[in-house]
Structures are given as C-alpha cells and as structure tokens.
Amino acid sequence: MQERGRVQNPAIVLQAQNLVKRFGDLVAVDQLSLALEEGECFGLLGPNGAGKSTTLEMLEGILPPTSGEILFDGEPLKGDYRQQIGIQFQATALPEYLSVNDCLTLFSSLYRHTMDSAELVRICRLEALLPQRHSTLSGGQRQRLLLALALLNRPRLLFLDEPTTGLDPQARHNFWQLIRDIRSTGTTILLTTHYMDEAEQLCDRIAIMDHGRVLRQDTPARLIEQEFRARLVSLPADLSLGGQWTRPWVVRNGRQEYHTDDVNQVLTELQRRRVDLTGLNVRRPNLEDLFLKLTGHQLRS
C-alpha cells in the first residue's frame, strides 16, 4: 500500500478543537479534535452510534457544539460559511416532478456564485440524464446528481456522507473515480463511509472514532503498520486444526484467522498436524482488521 504524495506544510482548512456535544445526559461527542488539510480527502470512520453523524453536523454548521471550537481558515464559522462548502447528505428529498436539469437550476438559485453548468454536467457525467425525471434515476445516477448539487457553488470543502451506500460494485467504483477527479482540482473532502476498502482507496488520512472519541488518526498505511507487525494466516472456518494452539484462532466471515510474526512456523505446525491446506490464505492485515481491533464492531451500514 503506497501513500500519496503529501504537500509540505499544507494549510489547515477546517479544524475542530475539543468538540463536545451533549443531548441531555448523553454525551454524543466527547473532546473530539481533528484538522483537515487543504486538498486532502479525509475519512471519518466509526460504527453506528460512534458520533460520526453528530460530528459531521457540527462541522457542517448545522448543529452547534455544546463546547469546543470549529475554525474555517483559522477563524470561527461565519455567516458565509455555507456558501463555501458543499454537502452531499445520505438522503435528499427533491420535488417529485423535477427533471435533472430542473434540479440543477433550482439549487443554483441558492448560491451567489455557481460553477459553469456545462462543466458541472461534464464532471458528474449527467449529459444524457438532463431531461430525465430524477425519480426515474438508478442509484448510481441519483448519487451523481446529488454530487452535482453539492458542487454547484464550487466549494472549497466538500462533505460526503456515506455517498456509495447501497450502490452496486460498478457504480461504487465509478463514483470513486469522480471523488478522485474532484480531489485532483484541489477541493478538500471529508468522507464518511462504512466501506473500509473505500476509505483505503480514497483517503489520504482517516480518523477512527467510537463512543464520541477519536481512537486513532493518521494515514491508513501508517495506522495499519503501527497496529500490526504480523501477517494473517487463514483457513476455512469448518476445517479442523488438530487440537489446541497456544493462542486461539479467530473465526470471522467464514474463515478462521491467526496473526503471526512467523508464517513459516505456523505453516510447519499445520503440516505437522496434517491439516488440509486447501483454501489457505496469507495476507497483510488491512483497514477492516484495524477497525475491528479498535472498535470491536463488525462493519455494518
């Protein structure tokens, strides 16, 4: 896994300092701090109930924090903040009768300055869809429309809240390329997702949170390297491993897995026990393994 090239001493676009959000006795976000560097894609990851949505709504200026501070370009959020950001929500209700072109026209009226419509249509690949009612779009087509609405004002900072949930693999990969294209223009992106492969593919840095706190924050590659020195040996879950081992194999996703610093030693022991090695897999731990180790939660959307 290679890390992307990093700009030396990048500017901080958005910074959260010791954010707290309480709802009565419930502390949804607890002393959270993070900073988004200009031009990066930053991933905010966590299981359901971790505080991601509440954090996102505070950073978007929708929900006021109970305490702490949010800075945009080093200054507290001001009245024109929403003119400089774009948001693709998990769900957006649009008037049923509008065409794709009507949606773009309606939403463009909400901003003082907007992107050239032809450029926006090209970026989001909407050319053939303009006369079509939005209610007839496929999942991937609708997400491209919602992305276009979030980009109308040419935002410096783009919030993407689980934008590929429910899409088929081809639509997901097509949407990933759109995100890469947008990031290449210098737009800063904050992405929430339940897909660890998505975060690993797209994000320069990530923060993994649970119970309202950030557990780890760095590049995916560095976080994995810090947490795992071992390799992961796995076999089908229903295969007998020939008695007790000094430490247990962990069953997950139909496989039994064993973390080890010495793959050859494990393979030798398996052969000594005459274990059938059909279906054997040896790999480096990935971001999903890290997520499970830190939060103890299975991934879910």
What integer pLDDT is reported at residue 1 of this predicted model?
A: 42
Give the residue ranges of DSSP H helices in the chain: 52-59, 100-108, 117-123, 139-151, 169-184, 196-202, 220-227, 263-272, 287-295
For residue 77, the model assigns a pLDDT of: 93
For residue 246, pLDDT beyond 90: no
How far apart CA 89 and CA 86 sit, in angstroms, is: 10
Please name the residues in contact with 240: beta carbons below 8 A apart, sequence gap of 6 or more.
Answer: 275
pLDDT at 93: 86
Domain boundary assignment for the chain: 37-61+80-225, 229-283
Could you please report the per-residue DSSP string of 229-268? -SEEEEEETTS---S--SS--EEETTEEEEEES-HHHHHH
Mean pLDDT throughout 67-87?
A: 93
Q: Is the pLDDT of residue 64 over 90?
A: yes
pLDDT tens, residue by residue, 100-153: 999 999 999 888 889 998 999 999 999 999 999 999 999 999 999 999 999 999
Residue 208 pLDDT: 93
Which runs of consecutive H residues, i.e. helices, occur in 73-113? 100-108
Distance CA 272, CA 148 (A): 59
Strand 157-161 with 85-88, pairing: parallel
Residue 284 clears pLDDT 90, i.e. is over it = no
pLDDT at 298: 55
Q: Report the distance separating Cα 154 and Cα 181, nearest Å.
A: 14
- Look-up: residue for tokens 């954090």? 55
**pLDDT recorded at residue 301:** 41
Residue 176 has pLDDT above 90, yes or no: yes
Answer positive or negative: Cα dihedral of 276, 279, 280, 285: negative
pLDDT over 80 at 205, yes or no? yes
- Token pair of 124, please? 């989001």
CATH 3.20.20.70 for the 37-61+80-225 domain, yes or no: no
When pLDDT is averaged across residues 82-105 and rounded to a whole number, the result is: 91
Are the beta carbons of 190 and 16 closer than 8 angstroms? no
pLDDT at 16 over 90: yes
